[in-house]
Amino acid sequence: MRVGILTGGGDCPGLNAAIRAVAKSLILKQKAEIIGVKDGFLGLIEKRTTTISYSDCSGILNLGGTILGTHNRADPFNHEGRDVSSHVKDYYDTLGLDALVVIGGDGSLSIASELAQMDMNIVGVPKTIDNDLMCTDRTFGFDTATSIVTEAIDRLRTTGQSHKRIMILETMGRNAGWIALHSGLAGGADSILIPEHPYNIEEVARICQARSGDKGYALVVVAEGARPQGGSTVVRETIADSPDPIRFGGIGEDLKRQLEKHIDAEVRATNLGHIQRGGTPTSFDRIFATEVGCYAAKMVANGEFGKVAIIRNNTLGQVPLSKVANKTRVVTEEDISYMTAVNMGISFGIKQQ
């Protein structure tokens, strides 16, 4: 058996743990030969692969990033304006692959879903710090990102407290508020602003005023995709040939300027950026990436193709790739973490909650 492994889209902590789990379990149980595809789908387009031995997978469990490299613009269906998917399929055949494991978020799994319709045997593995993939309760990378943001909130608290300031922290997450919500809950934020609920600036100002009146400072966590009511999101850059063309960034500074018009206290904004995505995975992400990677290897062995491994209610399972393709799982008012935040008096910047 020859199995290819590819990591696509933005990197995240836990990718190497997943590569290791897929490769080691297929080598051990199926005596498979593993082919690593370099730099995401670009490696399939440009025919760049490498063999991965059992020993290549040693010592990478705790490594951030991906040993295979990744690319978040490469798309076989739109490569420099051309559809090169048939060349990709030819290369897959030339490599003699029995299956291809695509470790990716919504962008990469959407591409994988289309390739699966071209007679390529594909199994998906869910990754992304954003935690926004449909049909799965978790993606690996999210726990590490949340932990890093939580630590940043703890640090902003002591400096904010000392200077009696309003401290704003901008998080990643695209159109979903999971990182902001979970880290804001873990860090005890006064207000969490998420894309799912456009905020009312007067209400955010009122909360900051009230909380800083009580304790001298206030902490606001704002997701990069959040926007004021009647306003728009802050787009850092648009990358036309990317499967995810919009790059957010800058809402923290924007919010600072908006808030300063409404309150007297000093306001400071911090954007953690890619610090949320780099470095060592938490033990949770290492374990989950290993579990879901081993499960994907089992799917390959069983010939369960065109599907993605998922976790629902603490049970590993699988759903068709088409169910997660081109969709985003956002925070709803029924999510435990959202309800808990509301019950804890955390403001989402909406009037009359």
CB of residue 173 vs ligand F6P: minimum separation in angstroms? 5
Beta bridge partners of 35: 4, 51
Residue 154: both structure tokens together: 């703890």
Between 217 and 248, CB nearer to ligand F6P: 248
CB of residue 233 vs ligand F6P: minimum separation in angstroms? 11
- Residues binding ligand F6P (CB under 6 A): 10, 72, 105, 128-130, 172-174, 224, 247-248, 277
Q: Which residue is nearest to ligand F6P (CB)?
A: 172
281 Rama sector, left if φ>0, alpha if ψ -120 to 50, beta otherwise: beta
Catalytic residue among 11, 130, 132, 254: 130
Between 207 and 325, CB nearer to ligand F6P: 325
Between 132 and 190, CB nearer to ligand F6P: 132
> How would DSSP label each residue in 46-110?
TT-EEEE-TGGGTT-TT--S-TT---SS--TTSBTTB--HHHHHHHHHHHT-SEEEEEE-HHHHH
* Residue indicated by tokens 């935040």: 341
Residue 308: both structure tokens together: 């993605």
Q: Nearest Cα to 77, choosing from 51, 111, 47? A: 111
**Pair 61, 20: CB distance under 8 Å:** yes
Between 239 and 342, CB nearer to ligand F6P: 239
CB of residue 23 vs ligand F6P: minimum separation in angstroms? 24
> Can 130 be counted among the known catalytic residues?
yes
CB of residue 326 vs ligand F6P: minimum separation in angstroms? 15
Write out the catalytic residue numbers.
130
